Structure 1
């Protein structure tokens, strides 16, 4: 599914039409960009851009949703976020083009600044949990049906849809799904009340970089209005975030008591997502550990 000459010629035409200026793509350099998409640095007469490509038949609207998510984050003016330029499909290949962010060296207060910007993002709120459309976490559909109660939202839009998919694919057995159902019934008594916070939604160490200004640039969002502990728990799932980040966040916008204990509960959603994305494996054991902890 390489970005061949025919594809690039048509992409040049679409970019030219979109931007009302003649765009000539001189080179498409393949770069490392995660497990899901092919990624390229486009060298053009108007500077570099970033290109993602995938199979339009398998994921017909994934990049449209990512375009929307990036736009939502940019509109908050809290973080550096790649500017989405255009998306579409060419010869059966879905694509997304954004501006290209150069990497820089971290400023001395990088982690404190990261925490401060995340707080500003989380202070964007609305009346209900959810989002104005469904979107994706990885390649999995993320349901955003609005609820005014976080516990109900988390159960019906996050945990149980993935549990059902995992059961249907023989990745989770019936007793495990039953345990998940029972745990969902406890959410109301476990989670403290919080206003819906605008979340990045998939904030692990692979979805940020140090920008040229020495500050955090975030991308690959799975945005929705949710409980802000979800973003913090996601940062803890695979490491890569400095202790200063958490101290700064907690000192400026304290989380409710017991947030450390709820980390595993908030990680249950991305763990279930990884069960589906990676066909079970050790992630099933991680789900079992969370269930054991909250029995």
Structure 2
């Protein structure tokens, strides 16, 4: 990290939050996606993982991520980096977690991953949603509570993104009308099922093989939703072995006709990508709506 002033402010913030004097020996920049700057921190208290971004552009993002990581860790079902500190230094927001060392996958890596996710999904709640609005990518994710998944999915997921996409001329009136038709039929598409604690953005870029040879998940967009959302997201961009899905299904069978609902569940992340990146995602969304 070249900004020594920022490094000093960060060490002061960490010291204040932890109650222990922390000296940062060095910060090594490592790959971390398009939104954040990411670093491996070497300190007198060990190695940490640091994320930085603009607190002005993404207010509260790391506080929400901190809470999401905490919710996942509290299930004790799957490896999740322990969130340690978050805050702001100057115009930068920061999040610090434990540094997860990479390892080689165990022979049963995929079976263990699928079983762990199924156990995580058994953590439920009285309503679909989450106590706060959080983020998926750089976009706000609304989590107002509803007792019905179909209502939650329509009002908190598809409707806000459809409005935003139409305003940006990424969807035409015909596609909006087809989306509205889909919303009305969601109660006939999804069976009743209790809310499940979801990672919320489960693609291959958001897990790694930990030092213990098992899966570690991170960068969540946590909420209580229909568990088919995580599995549909995992299928969207590939990177998950079939053993992952087979083991999950054996441990926690999905409701009948789940295969017919995959594309409907993928509509949300595809709409997010349409708004963030445009391009071919328009055709993906249109294909799903036309099929419906």
Query: What is the number of residues matched between the two proteins?
Result: 292
The Cα of 1:11 is off from its aligned counterpart by 0.6
Tell me what 1:241 maps to. Answer: 240
Tell me what 2:177 maps to. Answer: 178
> Contact conserved, 2:13 with 2:89, CA < 8 A, in 1?
no
TM-score using structure 2 length: 0.98
TM-score using structure 1 length: 0.97
Please give the alpha-carbon distance, in whole angstroms, between the structure 1 residues aligned to 2:280 and 2:47.
39
Q: What SS does structure 1 have at the residue aligned with 2:81?
A: coil
Tell me what 1:152 maps to. Answer: 151
The Cα of 1:244 is off from its aligned counterpart by 0.3
Please give the alpha-carbon distance, in whole angstroms, between the structure 2 residues aligned to 1:214 and 1:127.
34
Tell me what 1:100 maps to. Answer: 99
Tell me what 1:286 maps to. Answer: 284
- Indicate yes or no: 2:188 matched with 1:189: yes
- The one-character-per-residue Cα deviations of 1:97-119 (angstroms, maximum 9, x if unpaired) are 11100001111111111111111
1:78-89 equivalent positions in 2, closer than 5 A: 78-89=77-88
Tell me what 1:131 maps to. Answer: 130
Please give the alpha-carbon distance, in whole angstroms, between the structure 2 residues aligned to 1:224 and 1:73.
10
Could you tell me which runs of 5 or more consecutive residues in structure 1 were left unpaired when the two chains were aligned. none
Q: What SS does structure 1 have at the residue aligned with 2:281?
A: helix
- Indicate yes or no: 2:54 matched with 1:68: no
Please give the alpha-carbon distance, in whole angstroms, between the structure 1 residues aligned to 2:16 and 2:55.
21
Please give the alpha-carbon distance, in whole angstroms, between the structure 1 residues aligned to 2:105 and 2:291.
37
Which ranges of 4 or more aligned residues in structure 1 deviate by more than 4 Å? none
The Cα of 1:57 is off from its aligned counterpart by 0.7
- Indicate yes or no: 2:227 matched with 1:228: yes
The Cα of 1:3 is off from its aligned counterpart by 5.7
Tell me what 1:7 maps to. Answer: 6
Q: What SS does structure 2 have at the residue aligned with 1:186?
A: helix
- The one-character-per-residue Cα deviations of 1:24-78 (angstroms, maximum 9, x if unpaired) are 1111111111111111111112211111111111111111100110111111111
The Cα of 1:191 is off from its aligned counterpart by 0.7
Comparing 14-23 and 211-220, the one that deviates more: 14-23
Q: What SS does structure 1 have at the residue aligned with 2:145?
A: coil
1:161-172 equivalent positions in 2, closer than 5 A: 161-172=160-171
Tell me what 1:121 maps to. Answer: 120
Q: What SS does structure 2 have at the residue aligned with 1:184?
A: helix
> Contact conserved, 2:48 with 2:96, CA < 8 A, in 1?
yes
Comparing 16-25 and 221-230, the one that deviates more: 16-25
Could you tell me which runs of 5 or more consecutive residues in structure 2 were left unpaired when the two chains were aligned. none
